Structure 1
Amino acid sequence: MKPVIVVHGGAWAIPDDMAKASVDGVKSAATAGFLAMKRGGSALDAVELAVRALEDNPTFDAGHGAVLNTNGEVELDSIIMDGRTLAAGAVSSVKNIANPVSLARAVMEKTDHIMLTDRGANMFAESVGIPTVPTDALVTECERKEWEKAKKYAVGVKELFNSQWGHDTVGAVARDCSGNVACATSTGGIRNKMVARVGDSPIIGSGGYADNLSGAVSCTGHGESILKVTLARLILFHVEQGKGAPEAIEVSLRYMGDRVQGGGGAIVVSRTGEWAAKFTTERMAWAAVEREVLWYGLNPKEEFKETLTQ
């Protein structure tokens, strides 16, 4: 089987001055994950590696570059899931971990639980040797300014999401040479969210889901809306009913828009290796690699491809 990986950098109104950096970031992350599988790595390894690259890139709202809550604090959420066994790990409201996706994987592999939150997640990170960083190191000067602006004008979180003041999630899905699928999703949430607010990203079936019998999904968008319709699992339900990957996302996003007036996007790879990246917001930076070809896009109904250079 040929490895396939798809990566997204968040579905929102990405401003022009962030467009190139967003596309370059997802292209680089997808390439890194694909090459890891070409070298024999698993789908699980690939999605973790890709999401770590996005967490390390201050362009995105995950890890470095995370947005701030109403108190001006960073609170990070992440999930990772193995489609071979349905094992999953997640963390929420962690404040000083640069790569929460790796902490989520540690929860999956080294505990009997699926999700740890806040103080307990940090205690576990210390016990397994995952380093912490000063919280200020995760916040960009640009984010400080945008947070002050949002506070000044008292803009609500849903209005922020639907504007260029918003920001969003990152994620990856992959199928490896053995036919195993995996997903990972990571976020700093929505700017100016309430303290301890948790969105869809770390919740199984909402922010992500992976099952070798159907495929893997990572979602992005307005978290409360995604939670209400359990978007990731809904997409895979439609895949299981025989719909192709693009149609499964489109039908599910349309339902979310009609039912709860929520916008967002998703990436999916099916068990057969069919993939898709779709969204209902103004833009979503995404990239995919299969058969040495790198596909990518930013705007609706627009995609580009180039031969992968190693």
Structure 2
Amino acid sequence: MCIESIVLMLLACTVGMSTSVMKTEPILLVHGGAGDIPDERVPTKMAGMRKSVLVGFQVLKAGGSAIDAVEAAIKVMEDDEAFNAGYGSVLNTDGEVEMDACVMLGNLSAGAVSIVRDIQHPISLARLVMEKTPHVMFAGAGANRFAREQGVPFVAPGSLVSESAKRSLEMFKKNQAEHLTETGHTKPPGPLKDVKNPGDVGTVGAVAIDINGNMAAGTSTGGLNGKMVGRVSDTSMIGSGTYCDEDVGAVSTTGHGDTIAKACLAHSIIKEMEHGKSAQDAASHCLEKMTNRLKHTAGAIVLSKEGDVGIYFTSKRMGWAYQKGNKIHSGVNHDHVVTEEV
């Protein structure tokens, strides 16, 4: 055998070994909303996030893509009344569910929907926008028309309105009326900034990296409790609620959406990472800066291309969970983390 043939064989073996060694360890990280989450809702949120992570990570474990895992994980939370997304979404001033969602891949492909009604899984519709159209976002009647054209199943009008969402809206309107009486103002066109909002518990989202190193991020929400009809949330705004760049990392945010939108929070975190900050440091820096300047709170889950996890929130609580290997880590407070093997 000639020397050239031996060299080629050695190179082939080396490439094969390198490809095997370079497989990425998959990670899935989810959040279940940030805000003043009441104690009685913590157990159901924790259980829902655990289920979300288990379902999504199973996709990664089987060799599935990051976007498949993100979509699967978010769909679990969209079906769970404990979360402000899909069934369980908070209501607008007319007592209706209007939802937003967004997905983004590491190659900067993205899709979003806003003000959609009577669709069980807005996150799946956002993915269809990304994969089936040359556009990035559809809203309102156009989004619902696109859903019908794609054969997306609809649910009966009003069936996404949960009992907890009804109670939250009633409490908010009561708080608003009391505030108006105390201040002597007439009824405003929409929510008042200083009124306690019992449904203000944030959005859901997920970020993932698969065995091939591909990344994805997704976010889904029912928006702000008592919002004006037709309000668009940060969730559907690429760079605010969601951002993913395979050269840097993936982010999904939750919290006071109008503030998140003003800060372009998800993209700001990515830019800080691009300039050398870790996932955790970038999240904490951008969230503290946003809250200090705009006086509202939020949270973010962050995953770097190297697999580093960042979790930070300026709100009272944020539900989050992630799986790496055979361990799930979860929590709602800064000082308490639950770790379990699965």
TM range (shorter): over 0.9
Q: What CA distance in whole angstroms lies between the structure 2 residues aligned with 1:287 and 1:158? A: 30
5+ long unaligned stretches in structure 1: none
Q: What CA distance in whole angstroms lies between the structure 2 residues aligned with 1:169 and 1:18? A: 15
Q: What CA distance in whole angstroms lies between the structure 2 residues aligned with 1:138 and 1:305? A: 33
Which residue identity lines up with residue 235 of structure 1 in the other structure?
A: I
What SS does structure 2 have at the residue aligned with 1:294?
strand
Q: What CA distance in whole angstroms lies between the structure 1 residues aligned with 2:326 and 2:284? A: 27
- Equivalent position to 1:263, from 276, 281, 297: 297
What SS does structure 2 have at the residue aligned with 1:138?
coil
Q: Which of these two proteins has the greater Rg computed from alpha carbons? A: 2
Q: What CA distance in whole angstroms lies between the structure 2 residues aligned with 1:7 and 1:65? A: 17
Which residue identity lines up with residue 281 of structure 2 in the other structure?
A: E
Q: What CA distance in whole angstroms lies between the structure 2 residues aligned with 1:254 and 1:279? A: 9
Percentage of pairs with the same residue: 45
Which residue identity lines up with residue 109 of structure 1 in the other structure?
A: E
Question: Superposition pairs for residues 20-59 of structure 1, below 5 Å?
Answer: 20-59=43-82
Check if 1:148 corresponds to 2:170: yes
What SS does structure 1 have at the residue aligned with 2:336?
coil
Per-residue Cα deviation, 1:181-233 (whole angstroms, up to 9, x for no partner): 10000000011001111111011100000010000000001111111110001
What SS does structure 1 have at the residue aligned with 2:158?
helix
Q: 1:147 to 1:164 in 2, by over 3 A?
A: closer
In the alignment, is the contact (CA less than 8 A) between 1:200 and 1:223 conserved in 2?
yes
Higher relative contact order (CA 8 A, sep 6+): 1
Q: What CA distance in whole angstroms lies between the structure 2 residues aligned with 1:66 and 1:135? A: 14
Q: What CA distance in whole angstroms lies between the structure 2 residues aligned with 1:285 and 1:16? A: 12
Deviation at 1:159, TM superposition (A): 4.3
- Give the structure 1 partner of residue 103 of structure 2: 80
Deviation at 1:116, TM superposition (A): 0.2
Q: What CA distance in whole angstroms lies between the structure 1 residues aligned with 2:110 and 2:26? A: 21
Which residue identity lines up with residue 122 of structure 1 in the other structure?
A: N
Check if 1:15 corresponds to 2:30: no
Q: 1:282 to 1:48 in 2, by over 3 A?
A: same
In the alignment, is the contact (CA less than 8 A) between 1:67 and 1:167 conserved in 2?
no
- Give the structure 2 partner of residue 184 of structure 1: 218
Check if 1:289 corresponds to 2:323: yes
What SS does structure 1 have at the residue aligned with 2:251?
strand
Check if 1:104 corresponds to 2:112: no
What SS does structure 1 have at the residue aligned with 2:114?
strand
- Give the structure 2 partner of residue 4 of structure 1: 27
- Give the structure 2 partner of residue 196 of structure 1: 230
- Equivalent position to 2:207, from 144, 148, 173: 173
In the alignment, is the contact (CA less than 8 A) between 1:172 and 1:183 conserved in 2?
yes
What SS does structure 1 have at the residue aligned with 2:243?
strand
Per-residue Cα deviation, 1:2-41 (whole angstroms, up to 9, x for no partner): 0001000001111111000001111110121111011011
Deviation at 1:145, TM superposition (A): 2.1
In the alignment, is the contact (CA less than 8 A) between 1:263 and 1:281 conserved in 2?
yes
Q: What CA distance in whole angstroms lies between the structure 2 residues aligned with 1:186 and 1:139? A: 16
Q: What CA distance in whole angstroms lies between the structure 1 residues aligned with 2:153 and 2:169? A: 27
Q: What CA distance in whole angstroms lies between the structure 1 residues aligned with 2:296 and 2:48? A: 26
- Give the structure 2 partner of residue 126 of structure 1: 148
In the alignment, is the contact (CA less than 8 A) between 1:2 and 1:177 conserved in 2?
yes
Q: What CA distance in whole angstroms lies between the structure 2 residues aligned with 1:189 and 1:159? A: 18
Check if 1:115 corresponds to 2:137: yes
Deviation at 1:267, TM superposition (A): 0.2
Deviation at 1:152, TM superposition (A): 2.7
Q: What CA distance in whole angstroms lies between the structure 1 residues aligned with 2:299 and 2:246? A: 22
Q: What CA distance in whole angstroms lies between the structure 2 residues aligned with 1:304 and 1:152? A: 37
5+ long unaligned stretches in structure 2: 1-23, 178-190
Per-residue Cα deviation, 1:92-136 (whole angstroms, up to 9, x for no partner): 000111100000000100011110000001111000100111232
Deviation at 1:153, TM superposition (A): 2.8
- Equivalent position to 2:85, from 39, 42, 62: 62
In the alignment, is the contact (CA less than 8 A) between 1:206 and 1:232 conserved in 2?
yes
Q: What CA distance in whole angstroms lies between the structure 2 residues aligned with 1:98 and 1:159? A: 32
In the alignment, is the contact (CA less than 8 A) between 2:171 and 2:198 conserved in 1?
no
RMSD over aligned CA atoms reads 1.2
Which residue identity lines up with residue 214 of structure 2 in the other structure?
A: N
Which residue identity lines up with residue 146 of structure 1 in the other structure?
A: S
Count of matched residue positions in the alignment of Structure 1 and Structure 2: 306
TM-score (norm 2): 0.87
In the alignment, is the contact (CA less than 8 A) between 1:81 and 1:210 conserved in 2?
yes
Deviation at 1:68, TM superposition (A): 0.6
In the alignment, is the contact (CA less than 8 A) between 1:157 and 1:192 conserved in 2?
no
What SS does structure 1 have at the residue aligned with 2:88?
coil
Q: What CA distance in whole angstroms lies between the structure 2 residues aligned with 1:158 and 1:9? A: 23
Q: What CA distance in whole angstroms lies between the structure 1 residues aligned with 2:175 and 2:256? A: 21
Deviation at 1:291, TM superposition (A): 1.6
What SS does structure 2 have at the residue aligned with 1:107?
helix
Q: What CA distance in whole angstroms lies between the structure 1 residues aligned with 2:74 and 2:113? A: 14
Which residue identity lines up with residue 245 of structure 1 in the other structure?
A: A
TM-score (norm 1): 0.96
- Equivalent position to 1:275, from 309, 314, 321: 309
